[in-house]
Structure 1
Amino acid sequence: MELLYKEESFIIRGVAFDIYKQFRSNHKEKIYHNACFIGLTNKGLKAENDKRIDVFFCGKKVGVYVPDLIINDSILIELKAKPRLLKEDEKQFWYYLKGTDYKLGFLTNFGAPDGVEIVRKVYDSARK
């Protein structure tokens, strides 16, 4: 089975490792966010910051999701800068993925002292 968005996934992971190599775990999330945007667009990917995604029930807006980055209109990225990812971070990321039309997401934590943590998840609505 072919890896979903293989080339984009390779670029996203590479940019995350490059950023961690330069900054380590010493900065606020916004620094990593800005660096990701620059790194990904420099590699030729289209990146959108903090895209607001409305959530509807029975035709009425009930909320909004705001993931950190959307790549090439197809990949969701949520960034963190914490010593370790918590269950609530993973739940938030999962809600974003399940509640939107994006099939692939990356939860990336730059705050871990041992290296960047990258969780890559595929969600296909056929598996709901």
Structure 2
Amino acid sequence: MVKSTDDINKLSRIILDAAMYVHSSLGPGLLESAYEHCLYFELHSRGIACERQLELPIMYRGHRIDAGYRSDLLVGDTIIVELKTTERILPVHEAQLLSYLKLSNKRLGLLINFNAIHLKDGIKRMVNEL
């Protein structure tokens, strides 16, 4: 099902609100997996469909290859959410999310660094032009 841009933006705002809630509850300094579990829980508690650690196979010369790539969260079968707990978001993190968007054929991804003092400073929105 193709969602409208308005629907995707609304879902994105819900994800970011949930992430802000998790961050304000826990603060920075935990492992990435802790934030992943809590954000997954928070989204489900808000009635949002979400999958964790979704396999992202590579299609190479007509063959499906599982190279071990997994997205942290796929929300509403629409938005890939990649979580980090680093000093800052690096270009390699952005490249990773863009690759995940291409592998999954999704349009929007959110890169969220929970190690930021103010979560708004640790958010990067990325679009796959398909």
TM range, normalised to the smaller chain?
Answer: 0.7 to 0.9
Kindly indicate which of the two structures has a greater share of residues assigned to helix. Answer: 2
Q: Where does the alignment leave 5 or more consecutive residues of structure 1 unmatched?
A: none
The answer to whether the Cα contact below 8 Å between 2:56 and 2:103 also exists between their aligned partners in 1 is: no
Q: What fraction of aligned residue pairs are identical, expressed as a percent?
A: 27
Q: Counterpart in 2 of 1:118?
A: 123
2:10 is equivalent to residue 7 of structure 1 = yes
* Match for residue 45 of structure 1 among 40, 44, 48: 48
SS in 2 for 1:85: coil
Distance 2:98 2:7 in 1: 17
The answer to whether the Cα contact below 8 Å between 1:47 and 1:69 also exists between their aligned partners in 2 is: yes
Distance 1:64 1:104 in 2: 21
List per-residue Cα deviations over 1:63-112 (Å, max 9, x = no partner). 35311001111111100111211221111111111222111111111012
* 1:13 counterpart letter in structure 2: L
Offset, 1:54: 1.2
Q: Counterpart in 1 of 2:81?
A: 77
Give 4+ residue runs of structure 1 displaced > 6 Å after superposition. none
* 1:77 counterpart letter in structure 2: V
Q: CA RMSD in A?
A: 1.8
Counting matched residue pairs gives 125
Cα distance 1:4–1:103, how it changes in 2: closer, same or farther (>3 A)?
Answer: farther
Q: Where does the alignment leave 5 or more consecutive residues of structure 2 unmatched?
A: none
Give the TM-score of the pair, scaled to structure 1.
Answer: 0.88
* 1:79 counterpart letter in structure 2: L
